[in-house]
Chain A
């Protein structure tokens, strides 16, 4: 039994895979508030399967890129559960899960791009071949800066819908799902990563200058 979850998008998504296929999948009813929604969803998905955490044999987690706060909720949960349960934990680039879903569901055929919302008028972007294998990225990009180089290729993910001028050919799915994340890992179709967040940006912090005079 593999437990998978992803907290890289505004939706928290949780799934269980039994080795054959996804046997349970839940998504948060509200967006954001990952910290409040993840564990109740994990609890509920286990209850639905009438299993306990002790029955899990592996954990898979989306490592982003995505908003840092949500990412950390997913990663610290995955690491902690794996440590307690003494099972392996696999990290997956969240854009890869979107790519595999796009290929398998037939929304794309040839080479394509996945873009998610990076806020600040930027996207997290990676390029894929026709089988859904990552060719480049993920990187933080301004939509206008990459529009020319990816012209002609469809763009999967929420980032596409947000910037129609740069990405006129937007395709589904929009946000990563834990079910596809679980399939990617079980079927060994993605690069398995350490459970480290893909921040792709440094913390905003400034080294202070000398104190300002007060008088």
Chain B
């Protein structure tokens, strides 16, 4: 099927958000999200079984809401796209099963797509066609990757990723240490505004000369998290108050510094002039400003979708589906598996 401006419905259930988006070509028509984040907050992290149960309950109402907002009838869609991986296996499975049933009932093609590629494709809804090649830095509670995107529908090469915690996980863990609520990102960001980013010199993971030989474009945030914990404990032991704003700002600076430094190094190494930042952590205000500040000096353009499109959502899946349909790729079959560790090199499942 080749359609210039396909009407695509996208489903995303890789973690705790049930997302259903509708796009026509690169125009966003609806982006309905039901989040189970409140149910996870008391556990301090996403509980897979709780997320899976919530996806089942939210699925049909969220599809309904997306169609209403888009002002379309389900029968009008040209294709159904769904995240088939990577993500939480049980959570992915609910979205994939729903997408198959939609495709079968409507008699429309099904496209099982890669969640990371969708984080890249979503920017087209806001800033128009992607410059290809571009370099993508994807940072969230589940991933921290540097990707070379030659063709967002078929050719994505991983340059580096985290070797331990995801960047967003580090934000959540440090927030907990500081007594801030889950998810930690927005709270750290807010606290950091009144703190000093140079108050404490926290370590920058995998930036020593030796590490750079083996892990030039990889990330590590586990050591940073431990360093913050040690620092806070030492303070508490000495009976002094913990300067929450300074810890937040210094920690955030350490994360953003490494992310931006490595992303720009990768762009230079690959000879790429466009950097796209996506994933939930892309909503962090310091990451955006630091990337723009340093990239402009190097003549590199930075694209960051607005925060609502950076976090997991159905519109990103629909946006990727739309590009895939436009470029004439063959649909997936009904035995499409949910693959919790789907590699980013596999943009579209058979």
Judge whether A80 and B337 touch: CB under 8 Å.
no
Decide if B74 touches A84 in the complex (CB within 8 Å): yes
Query: Is A49 an interface residue when CB atoms closer than 8 A count as contact?
Result: no
Among A33, A80, A199, A205, point to the contact of B60 (Cβ < 8 A): A80
**Complex: how many Å from CA A94 to CA B186?**
45
Complex alpha-carbon distance, A206 and B335, angstroms? 34
Q: Decide if A76 touches B56 in the complex (CB within 8 Å).
A: yes
Q: Chain B residues near A203: list those with CB within 8 A.
A: 47, 49-50, 53
Separation in Å of the B111 CB from the closest CB of chain A?
A: 14
Smallest distance from the beta carbon of A212 to chain B beta carbons, Å?
9
Counting CB contacts under 8 A, is A39 at the interface? Answer: yes
The answer to whether A211 and B229 touch (CB under 8 A), given A84-B102, A84-B105, is yes
Partner of A207, one of B42, B90, B229, B333: B42
Contact call B47/A81, Cβ cutoff below 8 A: no
Answer whether residue B192 sits at the interface, using C-beta atoms and an 8 A cutoff.
no
Q: Main secondary structure on chain A at its contact with chain B?
A: helix
Q: Are B43 and A76 in contact (CB under 8 A)?
A: no
Cβ of A17 under 8 Å from chain B: no
CA A85 – CA B337 in complex, angstroms? Answer: 24
Pair B226/A76 contact, Cβ less than 8 Å? no
Interface flags for B29-67 (1: CB within 8 Å of A; 0: not) read 000000000000011110101101101100110011000
Docked-complex contact A37 and B335, CB < 8 angstroms: yes
Q: Which of B210-237 contact A (CB under 8 A)?
A: 226, 229-230, 233-234
Q: From B44, B100, B333, give the contact of A208 (CB < 8 A).
A: B44
Interface string of B175-208 (1 = CB under 8 A from A): 0110000000000000000000000000000000
Q: Is the CB of A76 within 8 A of B98?
A: yes
- Among A67-75, A128-136, A151-159, A169-177, the one that faces the other chain is A67-75
Within 8 A of B (CB), among A201-215: 203-208, 211, 213-215
**Per-residue interface assignment for chain B, residues 100 to 123, with 1 indicating a CB less than 8 Å from any chain A CB and 0 otherwise:** 111011110000000000000000
Q: Does A38 contact B (CB under 8 A)?
A: yes
The answer to whether B56 and A83 touch across the interface, beta carbons within 8 angstroms, is no
Query: Contact flags (1/0) for B2-31 with A, using CB distance below 8 Å?
Result: 000000000000000000000000000000
What's the Cα separation between A63 and B334 when bound, in Å? 22
CB of B337 within 8 A of CB of A76, answer: no
Q: Are B230 and A214 in contact (CB under 8 A)?
A: yes
CA of A69 to CA of B229 in the docked complex: distance in angstroms?
37
Tell whether, in the assembled complex, residue A211 and residue B176 are in contact, meaning their CB atoms are under 8 Å apart.
Answer: yes
Mark interface residues in A91-124 (1 if CB within 8 Å of B CB, else 0): 0000000000000000000000000000000000
Would B105 and A72 count as touching, CB distance under 8 A? no
A68 touching B106 by the CB < 8 A rule?
Answer: no
Interface size on B, residues (CB 8 A): 44
Q: Indicate whether A77 reaches chain B with its CB closer than 8 angstroms.
A: yes
Q: Do B337 and A77 touch (CB < 8 A)?
A: no
Do A83 and B93 have beta carbons less than 8 Å apart? no
Contacts of A208 in B (CB 8 A): 43-45
Contacts of A199 in B (CB 8 A): 53
Assess whether A76 is in contact with B230, with CB atoms less than 8 Å apart: no
Interfacial chain B residues near A35, Cβ < 8 Å: 93, 96-97, 337-338
* Nearest chain A CB to B45 CB, angstrom units: 8
Q: Give the size range of A's interface with the partner.
A: 35 or more
Q: A36 and B63: CB pair below 8 A?
A: no
Within 8 Å CB of B106, what residues of A? Answer: 84
B107 touches A53 (CB 8 A): yes
A31-64 interface code vs B (CB 8 A; 1 in, 0 out): 0010111111011000000001100000000000
B94 proximal to A (CB < 8 A): yes
Report if A75-B50 is in contact (Cβ < 8 Å); known contacts: A39-B97, A69-B93, A208-B44.
Answer: no
Cα A53 to Cα B56 in complex, Å, equals 22
| A79 in contact (CB, < 8 A) | yes
Which of chain A's residues have a CB closer than 8 A to the CB of B177?
211
- A75 contact set on B, CB distance < 8 A: 56
A197 at the interface (CB under 8 A from B): yes
Are B101's CB and A39's CB within 8 A? Answer: yes
Return the contact of B101 from the options A33, A36, A40, A77 (Cβ within 8 A): A77
What residues on B are CB-neighbors of A207 within 8 Å? 42-44
* Chain B nearest CB, measured from A65 CB (Å): 14
| Residues 175-215 of chain A, each 1 if its beta carbon lies under 8 Å from chain B, else 0 | 00000000000000000000001010001111110010111
Provide 30 A-B residue pairs closer than 8 Å at the C-beta atoms, listed in order of the A residue.
A35-B96, A35-B97, A35-B338, A39-B335, A40-B334, A40-B335, A69-B52, A69-B90, A72-B56, A72-B90, A77-B97, A77-B100, A79-B60, A80-B101, A83-B60, A83-B64, A84-B74, A84-B105, A203-B47, A205-B43, A205-B47, A205-B50, A208-B43, A211-B176, A211-B229, A213-B229, A214-B226, A214-B230, A215-B233, A215-B234
Measured CB to CB, the residues of A under 8 A from B are: 33, 35-40, 42-43, 52-53, 68-69, 72-73, 75-77, 79-81, 83-85, 197, 199, 203-208, 211, 213-215
Closest 8 A/B residue pairs (Cβ): A203-B49, A84-B105, A80-B101, A39-B100, A205-B47, A39-B334, A77-B101, A208-B44
